[in-house]
Amino acid sequence: MDFSWTEEQLAYKNAVIKFAKKELNDGIIERDRKGEISLENWRKCAQFGILGLPIPEEYGGSDADVLTVMLAMEGLGYGCRDNGLIFAINAQMWSVQLPILTFGSEEQKQKYLPSLNSGELIGAHGMSEPDSGSDAYSLRTKAEKVDGGYVLNGTKMFVTNATIADMAVVFATVDPSKGRSGITGFIVDSEMDGYKISRHLDKMGLRTSPMAEIILQNCFIPEENRLGPVGAGTSIFTNSMGWERSSILGSQIGAMEYQLETCIRYARERRQFGQPIGKFQSVSNRIADMKVRLETARLLLYKVAWTKQMGKSAVMEAALAKLYLSECFVQSSLDAIRIHGGYGYMTEFEVERDLRDAIGGTIYSGTSDIQRTIIARLSGL
């Protein structure tokens, strides 16, 4: 594995950092308090080229390789303090754009990908339901075949971007008796009759990333909006989760690096009992632990990217990275608060927000326990 970055790759990462610091951080405390996303900042990211990074040029993207995309996400996480915005953007890239690119028809690719890349359209992904979370394939949303298409009925829960989405990749079963083999993907435009946002969902963290419940009630989907063959839903979902689990956390590496630098700077400047608090072993040990977590998590993430770039399966690597990185971000966020003491607990110092945002990483895209189950199974248990 060769993780020696080219000058061009490093220059792009630095450009992303500079862009994010300059354009994306104003008003984050207030937006977090209100639970509002900045659509202006979303469009800025699209115009900069973030959303189209992994998409071929023929569909309005830049056709960047996986390692370059991961490095760019790392830079975005370092420069932008709005974890919710980054999460929402990643949710679209890996759970909407990549499935359409991989499984969509040429007509679907031409219709949706350029507009999703440019920020003209925003996409959502509907798999989870009120009664199906970790057991994703036990979904109850049904797709009845009718002349010219399908009629969908069901409810989708925890849908990121739902309140601002123009379209959604939704999964339903065409035949419950077939189990996983009956699950099929559909592209649903938000203006279609029978598509309704039921309620906004308030969250502990990632509050600037909108989330809601979607109800599909006798929602007619034309045949041309089916994504992939009938019964291919499991393959589509598994593929998108492979990308999401490995890529959606790339920005957290950057966030953890920024977090570490902030703590080191504070430990040098803050004085107690006549010396900088960094001289106390309890503080310096926490910083050392944060550094170890950052570097080991970074290597796991780069290995996933390298494995995918080699065209190999990265199911195990993605599960390892998802589990370890998400848990590391939570622990390092706790350490950051402890290092800052009372100030770390205060909203205005922007330290506590990382902890609230980090906890979500242990749940979305497969909980930590699900990742442990995948790792154990692939280890032969």
pLDDT in tens, 29-40: 999 999 999 999
266 and 116 Cβ atoms separated by less than 8 Å: no
**Per-residue pLDDT at 357 exceeds 90:** yes
Average pLDDT (104-131) is: 95
**For residues 279 and 271, is the Cβ–Cβ distance under 8 A?**
no
pLDDT over 80 at 243, yes or no? no
CA distance to 28, 40, 95, 142, 234, per residue, from 220 (Å): 39, 32, 22, 12, 22
Distance CA 288, CA 299 (A): 17
With beta carbons less than 8 A apart as the criterion, state whether 114 and 60 touch: yes
Is 244 an annotated catalytic residue?
yes
Q: Is pLDDT of 136 > 90? A: no
Predicted confidence (pLDDT) per residue in 268-312, tens digit:
999 999 999 999 999 999 999 999 999 999 999 999 988 888 888
Q: Rounded mean pLDDT of 304-326? A: 90
- Which amino acid belongs to residue 85? L
Q: Compute the average pLDDT of residues 328-351.
A: 97
Closest listed residue to residue 262, CA positions, set 22, 83, 78: 78
Strands (E), 161-314: 167-173, 183-189, 195-200, 211-222, 226-227, 271-272, 275-276
* Selected catalytic residue, list 74, 129, 213, 244: 244
Q: Which domains does the chain carry?
A: 7-122 (1.10.540.10), 124-231 (2.40.110.10), 249-378 (1.20.140.10)
* pLDDT tens digits for range 74-92: 999 999 999 999 999 999 9
- pLDDT greater at residue 366 or residue 159: 159
Measured distance CA(7)–CA(158) in Å, rounded: 40
Judged by DSSP in three states, 189 sits in: strand
Q: Once rounded to an integer, what is the mean pLDDT over residues 50-55?
A: 95
- Quick one: which of 375, 344, 356 has its CA closest to 87? 356
For residues 246 and 45, the model is more confident at 45
| pLDDT mean over 236-248 | 76
What pLDDT, on the 0 to 100 scale, is given for residue 230?
94
For residues 278 and 281, what is the distance between their CA atoms, to the nearest angstrom? Answer: 7
Classify the C-alpha dihedral 338-340-346-348 as positive or negative: negative
- H or E segment and range at residue 142: strand 142-146
The mean predicted confidence, pLDDT, of the chain is: 94
**How far is residue 11's CA from residue 205's CA, in Å, rounded to a whole number?**
32
Rounded to 5 degrees, what are φ and ψ at 313?
-70, 140
Q: Name the one residue in this structure whose structure tokens are 């990185």.
A: 325
The answer, yes or no, to whether residue 244 has pLDDT greater than 80, is no
Query: Which H or E element spans position 144?
Result: strand 142-146
Local structure of 351: helix, strand or coil: coil
Cβ-in-10-Å burial (0-12, 13-18, 19+) of 215 comes to: middle
- What is the pLDDT at residue 31? 97
In this model, does residue 256 exceed pLDDT 90? yes
Instruction: Give mean pLDDT, residues 208-233.
Output: 96
Q: How confident is the model at residue 16 (pLDDT cuts 50, 70, 90)?
A: very high
pLDDT at 248 over 80: no
CB of 56 within 8 A of CB of 236? no
As a whole number of angstroms, the distance between CA 98 and CA 46 comes to: 16
Q: What share of the chain in percent tops pLDDT 70?
A: 98
For 160, the enclosing helix (H) or strand (E) is: strand 149-160
What pTM does this model have?
A: 0.94
Handedness of CA 41, 47, 50, 56 (dihedral sign): positive
